[in-house]
Structure 1
Amino acid sequence: MAVSAFTPTIFSTPSQSFTIPTTPHLSNFTKPKKIKSLSPITALSDPFVLQIAESLEDSLPSSSSSSQHLQKLRDFASEALLSTPWPSRKDEPFRFTDISFIKKSEITPVSPPPPQSLTNLSVFGDTLLVNLTIVDGYIVDSLSQLSGLPDGVYVGSLCKISSSEITKRVVEFLPVNEQGDLFWSLNGVGSPDLVVVYVPEGCRFEGPLHLRYVASEGSDKDSRKLPVSNPRVLVVVEKGGEIGIVEEFMGGDGGLSYWTNSVMEVVIGEEAKVSHSYIQTQSLSSAHIKWTSVRQEKSSSYDLVEVSTGGKLSRHNVHVQQVGSDTITGLSTFHLSGCDQTQDLHSKIVLDHPRGFSRQLHKCIVAHSLGQAVFDGNIKVNRYAQQTDAGQLTRSLILEPRATVNVKPNLQIIADDVKCSHGAAICDLEEDQLFYLQARGIDLKTARKALIVSFGAEVIERFPSSDLRKKVELYVKKLLDPEVEMDM
């Protein structure tokens, strides 16, 4: 596969009657001022983006807006939005991903879920696990189970941290050093709260922490309205700490239309370990955009296992920065496009220090003639990352004639003492494999189902929990064959 470089976008200068805010803060968007001369920031401002940002800010609870630390995050994101346009297919990062579905909708921020609406949510069967439930971006304590946390571990709202030491440590990473794209910044402006997961030095969190994201507010799929929520999570694991995190994004009943714009930042200290499981099964009429930003210090380990099957438009941006030597990074992802939907993964791993190790496996299945899958994977080995061992592999199955898969593996190497490799393959099921099963008395339909399920099993088997593996495998089988009974 050819690897193309990112191309700059040139913006035309608007007319002199264009109005902009008088200050770089979103709270002043309602007071535009006409000016005669245009500054560079004015020329780059996008009225559609500013309109969304203004509506997000106006929807925030007053208690959240008054938080000093959250306001710092909002100011950082606000300034970025002033020079960030809405992306189009002409922009290289979105060349294969059409997000006009969002722009053509009537975007409205969600409101805090009323208590009576929570009674209609499905009852979770795994209530014995340590879990935190987030409904439409808001923490719901009544649906969470946080008893039994180890000493020193904190899980909850930034505004409710009682320890000044934890607060001081957490706010060091606000705002983040790495600035993401437009959706990253919109989340920073519109997030009603910041979920903090803090693990102190040397603490091992036995058993996974389950973060459950539920979308309860949505419109009919034929409606233009698109409610948007902005959940945001910050994970800080100190030196020698260990934790397993399960993120599960669940949709509402039926084919509700909504937009989940989520961000998770992970800071992993020296010799610390984080196991990250990510499951996305939201409504097939929804938009799901997710940012995962990871910073790894010396001798730390980060392992991501992802299965994404939901969303009319689903995009996951994964950025990993190794800021220390002897660091281990693993990314294993499986995407399934079973109907008219787009599954998109954009990943970037940056290695800056000696003896870094990374492995990336991406698999996707497109089982619909109008389905699409996108993979853009970038691994950058900088000059001082000597003796690096980095590998990347992407494999895709196309099961329908007009289905689309676009892959762009990208390996940038500046260091000279490295062992790096990448590969890409796109194909249908192999005839030899089908013949092998048919020769043993298995009919063609059953043989195809078995091979399709086994294709994704290589990623599903990497989930650390057997219960989680069984649950995800059964769900994937159900999507591929509606006759399969769900027993959860």
Structure 2
Amino acid sequence: MDVSAFPPIIRTTRSPSFTILTSPSLSNFTKTRKVKPGVLTQHSLAPVAALSDPFVLQIAESLEDSLPSFSSNLQKLRDFSSESLLSTPWPSRKDEPFRFTDTSFIKQSEIIPVSSPPPPESLNNLSVLEATHLLNLTIIDGYIIDSLSQLSGLPNGVFVGSVSSINSTEITKRVLQFLPISIQGDLFLSLNGVGSPDLVVVYVPEGCKIEGLLHLRCISSEGGNKDSKKLPVSNPRVLVVVEKGGEIGIVEEYMGGDGDLSYWTNSVMEMVIGEEAKVSHSYIQTQSLSSAHIKWTSIQQEKSSSYELIEVSTGGKLSRHNVHVQQVWSDTITGLSTFHLSGSNQTQDLHSKIVLDHPRGFSRQLHKCIVAHSHGQAVFDGNIKVNRFAQQTDAGQLTRSLILEPRATVNVKPNLQIIADDVKCSHGAAIYDLEEDQLFYLQARGIDLKTARKALIVSFGAEVIERFPSKDLRKKVELHVKKLLDPEVHVENSM
């Protein structure tokens, strides 16, 4: 087995590499930009060209061309993202954030933006649409499908749907002031801002507490053969705004259509949680093992707010989740619980950052992963930063990895940065195989070795799965994980 663990480190910023642009992509891309004074002028085109990556600009231009029309409400987001892309190169293994994550699978493919929602006749073939939920919004290839959604029964004042469908000027103005809430991101966050065909808005007014769960089903239906170079890309984007005292539970589920299709889902969820508001966020990713899944989750928490993320990720040839939590006031509570399973030749990557700037912040992070394939890989880069004024902070971080094959790889880098002096903080990391003592204990009670191993492996991820807020959801995810670890297990309710 290949294992590496790194202590907290202080990074220095690498100077950007310069490339002489020989492609016409830059001129085509910048022609459509709404240039802000002092940001990009005719005299500054030369240095921008030197910093630009032709491949990135080519993708950005193709994304723009694939959108025949879009809401004017998204212009600010597109301008912001476009300016960022002009100086953002494609990431490589030489870049620290992608040191252990190889994105060449995407770069070497023929990237084709999904330019329209699927035709109605193709929706009947999507078996994943059989399940229904009380509150349910279906998004296919980045487009909202109203005919497959069920939103009746929403409380007064709550809105779920496209930003262009908001019938309240006040709500529209309130929501758009947070777009985008993330000013620090990477190439993939900016590409989503340029290529997202719509913005899904979830708005919860002050004091409103939504009973039950809102299920956001994000489906990738368009894809190429797994042996082909074609890689259709979609860019779903969701903005959640929960006002003071509001409460909501969200299930965000990513899945593929029938077959082992090859596609790229480049998704973003941004969330603003008001004072004393509470959000429970369940995130499930079970996409095709021939796909790329890259996800950004950016959270902004105000005073005395609570945010809990429970994640199970098992799909994707390349799967990367970037989680950024900013506690912008005091007495906030943050919980991150994630379980990643690499049961095939795939990479499961979690990059997280929690920034605490104010007193009495509380955070807990638990990351667990299993690598059950000789060519499988798991990556964890977790950063908790406790700044000077975040006194009386209580922060804890733990990552535990289980390796089941000799050539499997796990790279973990827990990083706890503390500037405040009145805090209680801890973190730890453990990477191991199944313990012989535990196997012996079960065998001594008449359980055969094979059954004992299965029981220990399944129970390893159960600590996270049991935190899902719904019994049906817990059962569904548990059966799916058991099926991946043991194909002989019969699963009645497919993911």
TM-score class, shorter-chain normalisation, is over 0.9
Structure 2 match to 1:122 = 127
Is 1:414 the counterpart of 2:419 in the alignment? yes
SS of residue matched to 2:258 = coil
Structure 1 match to 2:448 = 443
Structure 1 match to 2:294 = 289
Check the 8 A contact 1:25/1:75 in 2, yes or no. no
Structure 2 length as normaliser, TM-score? 0.94
* Structure 1 counterpart of 2:186, one-letter code: D
Structure 1 match to 2:86 = 82
Structure 2 match to 1:207 = 212
Which of 93, 98, 105 matches 2:102?
98
> What is the deviation of 1:481?
0.4
Structure 1 match to 2:284 = 279
SS of residue matched to 1:145 = coil
Is 1:249 the counterpart of 2:254 in the alignment? yes
Check the 8 A contact 2:379/2:412 in 1, yes or no. yes
Structure 2 match to 1:135 = 140
> What is the deviation of 1:152?
0.3
SS of residue matched to 2:32 = helix
Which of 311, 322, 337 matches 2:316?
311
Bigger Cα displacement from structure 2, 415-424 vs 246-255: 246-255
Structure 2 match to 1:391 = 396
Structure 2 match to 1:478 = 483
CA distance in 2, matches of 1:244, 1:12: 44
CA distance in 2, matches of 1:216, 1:19: 32
Check the 8 A contact 2:29/2:60 in 1, yes or no. no
* Structure 1 counterpart of 2:305, one-letter code: S
CA distance in 2, matches of 1:11, 1:301: 38
CA distance in 2, matches of 1:327, 1:37: 43
User: Structure 1 242/136 Cα, relative in aligned 2: closer, same or farther at 3 Å?
Assistant: same
Structure 1 match to 2:428 = 423
> What is the deviation of 1:178?
2.2
> What is the deviation of 1:2?
2.3
CA distance in 2, matches of 1:280, 1:481: 19
User: Structure 1 402/72 Cα, relative in aligned 2: closer, same or farther at 3 Å?
Assistant: same
SS of residue matched to 1:119 = helix
CA distance in 1, matches of 2:363, 2:44: 50
Check the 8 A contact 1:212/1:247 in 2, yes or no. yes
Segments of 5+ residues of structure 2 without an aligned counterpart are: 1-5, 35-41
Can you list the C-alpha shifts for 1:269-292, whole angstroms capped at 9, x where unaligned? 000000000000000000000000
SS of residue matched to 1:314 = strand
User: Structure 1 228/434 Cα, relative in aligned 2: closer, same or farther at 3 Å?
Assistant: same
Structure 2 match to 1:3 = 8
User: Structure 1 290/328 Cα, relative in aligned 2: closer, same or farther at 3 Å?
Assistant: same
Which of 74, 87, 101 matches 1:70?
74
CA distance in 1, matches of 2:355, 2:447: 46
Structure 2 match to 1:173 = 178
Q: How do 1:18-417 residues align onto structure 2 when only pairs under 5 Å count?
A: 21=26, 25=30, 27=32, 39-62=46-69, 64=70, 67-112=71-116, 113-122=118-127, 124-417=129-422
Check the 8 A contact 2:279/2:306 in 1, yes or no. yes
Check the 8 A contact 2:355/2:385 in 1, yes or no. yes
> What is the deviation of 1:174?
1.7
What percent of counterpart residues are identical?
Answer: 81
Can you list the C-alpha shifts for 1:307-337, whole angstroms capped at 9, x where unaligned? 0000000000000000010000000000000
CA distance in 2, matches of 1:128, 1:89: 42
Check the 8 A contact 2:220/2:255 in 1, yes or no. yes
Check the 8 A contact 1:255/1:283 in 2, yes or no. yes
Structure 1 match to 2:471 = 466
CA distance in 1, matches of 2:244, 2:236: 27
> What is the deviation of 1:402?
0.4
CA distance in 2, matches of 1:46, 1:182: 11
User: Structure 1 37/229 Cα, relative in aligned 2: closer, same or farther at 3 Å?
Assistant: closer
Structure 2 match to 1:32 = none
Structure 1 match to 2:39 = none
User: Structure 1 7/121 Cα, relative in aligned 2: closer, same or farther at 3 Å?
Assistant: same
CA distance in 2, matches of 1:60, 1:18: 22
CA distance in 2, matches of 1:259, 1:123: 18
CA distance in 2, matches of 1:336, 1:16: 41
CA distance in 1, matches of 2:368, 2:18: 42
SS of residue matched to 2:145 = strand
User: Structure 1 18/312 Cα, relative in aligned 2: closer, same or farther at 3 Å?
Assistant: closer
* Structure 1 counterpart of 2:299, one-letter code: V
Alignment length (residue pairs) = 480
* Structure 1 counterpart of 2:459, one-letter code: S
CA distance in 2, matches of 1:440, 1:312: 39
CA distance in 2, matches of 1:319, 1:26: 33
Can you list the C-alpha shifts for 1:100-149, whole angstroms capped at 9, x where unaligned? 00000000001321111112111544424200000011000000000000
> What is the deviation of 1:38?
6.7
CA distance in 1, matches of 2:476, 2:278: 25
> What is the deviation of 1:61?
2.9
CA distance in 2, matches of 1:254, 1:459: 28
SS of residue matched to 1:471 = helix
* Structure 2 counterpart of 1:266, one-letter code: M
CA distance in 2, matches of 1:341, 1:369: 10
Can you list the C-alpha shifts for 1:13-38, whole angstroms capped at 9, x where unaligned? 44486656459746369xxxxx9997
User: Structure 1 175/374 Cα, relative in aligned 2: closer, same or farther at 3 Å?
Assistant: same
User: Structure 1 26/142 Cα, relative in aligned 2: closer, same or farther at 3 Å?
Assistant: farther
SS of residue matched to 1:83 = coil
Structure 1 length as normaliser, TM-score? 0.95
User: Structure 1 432/123 Cα, relative in aligned 2: closer, same or farther at 3 Å?
Assistant: closer
* Structure 1 counterpart of 2:210, one-letter code: F
CA distance in 1, matches of 2:222, 2:322: 24
User: Structure 1 444/328 Cα, relative in aligned 2: closer, same or farther at 3 Å?
Assistant: same
Can you list the C-alpha shifts for 1:32-88, whole angstroms capped at 9, x where unaligned? xxx9997432221000000000000000132x1xx2211111111000000000000
User: Structure 1 441/383 Cα, relative in aligned 2: closer, same or farther at 3 Å?
Assistant: same
User: Structure 1 370/243 Cα, relative in aligned 2: closer, same or farther at 3 Å?
Assistant: same
> What is the deviation of 1:89?
0.2
SS of residue matched to 1:243 = strand
Q: Considering only aligned residues, what root-mean-square deviation do their CA atoms show, in Å?
A: 1.7
* Structure 1 counterpart of 2:81, one-letter code: A
